[in-house]
Amino acid sequence: MARTSAMTTATLEEMGRRHSWFRDLSAEERSWISIVARSGIDGFVQWFADDDAEPYSPTDVFDVAPRSMTRKISLHQTVELVRTTIDVVEAQIETEMPRGDRQVLRTAIVHYSREVAFAAAEVYARAAERRGTWDERLESLVVDAVVRADADEQLISRASTLGWRPGINLCVVVGRAPTTEHELHVLRRDGERMQMTVLAAVQSDRLVVILAGEKLVDDPAAVAASEALANHFAPGPIVVGPVVADLTLAPASARAALSGIRAARAWPEGPQVMAAVDLLPEQVLCGDTDAIAWLVNEVYSPLATASGDLMDTTVSFLDHGCSVEGTGRAMFIHPNTVRYRLKRIQDVTGYSPSDPREAYVLRLAITLGRLRS
């Protein structure tokens, strides 16, 4: 036992000399390696003795290690640990063992080290499988909390466990769920290739995705990023919520996206991937109070308070079939004046009366505003 203890000490000293990552470990993490190294050396002695009364398998080496070791120390580092331990044991064999026993021991340590290496791979494979299952459950909890507007410090903590970076722009994307679980893994992988962070979960027949990254500077950028990932959804509309600045604000984006996906069937002529704001008229007709308030506050009110008869011009233009000349005659103004006001209307509201879809939004906003006032 004293000799195996000395071998363990020599192994740890050699690890410190060879590997900078070992020197950067905490005292607790180094103690884990000490325990595993001692277990491996003691195990070799027991395995070589081939005692039927106390059978030993090289796969038992890692039984003494805490489960969290696989998160802190990589498989590559563990293999380096095994190699260093074997090198130290071989050196001890050459100096401490009788000359006649050395060849047998050298052959034995080669076989033993091979078994330990396979055992390490198996341990890390099982850990990855467990971690993958747990991460998927945790990911579903985070997405569900965002959908239910249950954003708090616990949500941030759970997301950080999944590698989430705080303070980064994000949006929530909703579409029909794919038919296979594998599609979610491919979605996450493709998101990473785009330098995006992806959290995804299937809820009933819908796929809810939280998409984050520095590229999401505004809503058009979010739609463009979502278009690049659209093939991972089942066929059907995909609605992108507004970009927000932090995970705690994600419920607002989710609420808009979910409202949009419910209303999307009323506009089958629309693009497959669209921003939630593009479906405001349909959301209003579904009774969405947020959509009603948005159209009143962001479209009707600026138009009503703007100078230059913009409200009257908008109504007249819509009433006269979006005809510049017809509007000019009805209001006794020059067509160029009408064109100037149309440009101002777009500047004030963000919507162009000359575009059929946007004219529909303006008409609905004016109707809602008048009802509210």
Average pLDDT over residues 67-89: 76
- pLDDT higher than threshold 70 for residue 342: yes
pLDDT at residue 71 tops 70: no
Tokens standing for residue 338: 């009408």
**125-129, 218-222, 327-331: segment of lowest average pLDDT:** 125-129
Q: Could you tell me the pLDDT band of residue 29, with boundaries at 50, 70 and 90?
A: confident
The pLDDT of residue 240: 98
Comma-separated ranges of CATH 3.30.70.2730 domains in the chain: 153-276
d(CA 73, CA 240): 39
Tokens matching residue 57:
């398998």
For the chain, give the percent of residues with pLDDT over 90.
50
Band of pLDDT at residue 81, cut at 50, 70 and 90: confident
Is residue 333's pLDDT more than 80? yes
* Whole-number percent of the chain with pLDDT over 70: 89
Question: What is the location of CATH 1.10.10.2840 in the chain?
Answer: 289-372
Confidence of residue 135 (pLDDT cuts 50, 70, 90): low
| Pairwise CA distance, residues 254 & 251, whole Å | 5
The residue with tokens 């850990």 is 127
Confidence of residue 130 (pLDDT cuts 50, 70, 90): low
Q: Give residue-wise pLDDT tens across range 251-281.
A: 999 999 999 999 999 999 999 999 999 999 9
| Count of C-beta atoms within a 10 Å radius of residue 221 | 16
The answer on pLDDT for 313 being more than 70 is yes
For 42-52, the pLDDT digits (tens) are 777 777 776 55
In this predicted structure, what is the pLDDT of residue 229?
Answer: 97
User: What CA–CA distance (Å, rounded) separates 189 from 200?
Assistant: 12
Q: How far apart are CA 23 and CA 32, in angstroms?
A: 14
Which residues, at least 6 apart from 302, have a Cβ–Cβ distance to it below 8 Å?
Answer: 348, 349
Q: Give 153-276's CATH code, choosing from 3.40.50.2000, 3.40.50.2020, 3.30.420.40, 3.30.70.2730.
A: 3.30.70.2730
Gyration radius (Cα) of the chain, Å: 33
| pLDDT above 70: residue 84 | yes
Using pLDDT thresholds of 50, 70 and 90, give the confidence band for residue 112: confident
The CATH class of 289-372 is mainly alpha
Using DSSP, state whether 269 is helix, strand or coil. coil
